[in-house]
Amino acid sequence: MRLTVDLSVNDYDRQVFAERKLVFEQREGEGLVHVMLKVLAFALYFDPRLVVEPTFEDEYKPDLLVRADDYRPELWVECGAVSVRKLDKISFRYYTSRFAVVKQQQREIVDLLERCQGEVRRLQAISFVAFDPNYCLRLAELLSGRNDVVAVISGDSIQVVIGGVTETSKLHRLP
């Protein structure tokens, strides 16, 4: 299924106020929650150069990516499931890059961070973000073919409006 999102980002902490039209191709086996995680990650890490599911010549592929001028990753974002091995490989291979992992719930990032301890050589290059329980599921249920989405980010909270429905969550960040 193809989902179109007209995203408006109001990030008061970074002083980012921008709009972007995004198209998501829901892959086989990919749920709407995963698509919603990508939308949320796009809002959290908004940059005019940020690309959804970019073409990338590597055994591993990011969900979202900002490329540096030399075409190497500047910011690599993973949404949902990601292995400790992948985080170790990409963070070591692209040693000048920053990485972010966006998960549905806080317990998921706590668990992943614990599993990464002693296994990921550049763990300091990775930030982890999650939301309140069922937040992503509630938002995903509001998605349809065409969507107007407004994301307001301030401090440790995010408020998202889809189709006139507003949902708010705390942003759980590690480390």
What is the tens place of the pLDDT at every residue in 40-61?
999 999 999 999 999 888 899 9
For residue 29, the model assigns a pLDDT of 85
pLDDT digits (tens, 9 = 90+) for 134-171: 999 999 999 999 999 999 999 999 999 999 999 999 99
* 90-121: burial string, b at 16+ Cβ within 10 Å, e else: bbeebeebbbbbbbbbbebbeebbeebeeebe
CB of 22 closer than 8 Å to CB of 5:
yes
Q: Confirm or reject CATH 3.10.640.10 for domain 2-174, answering yes or no.
A: yes
CA distance 139 to 77: 20
Q: What average pLDDT is seen over the chain? A: 96
**Residue 27 in this model has a pLDDT that exceeds 90:** no
pLDDT score of 100 more than 90:
yes
75-99 average pLDDT score = 97
DSSP H helical ranges for 60-144: 84-93, 106-116, 135-140
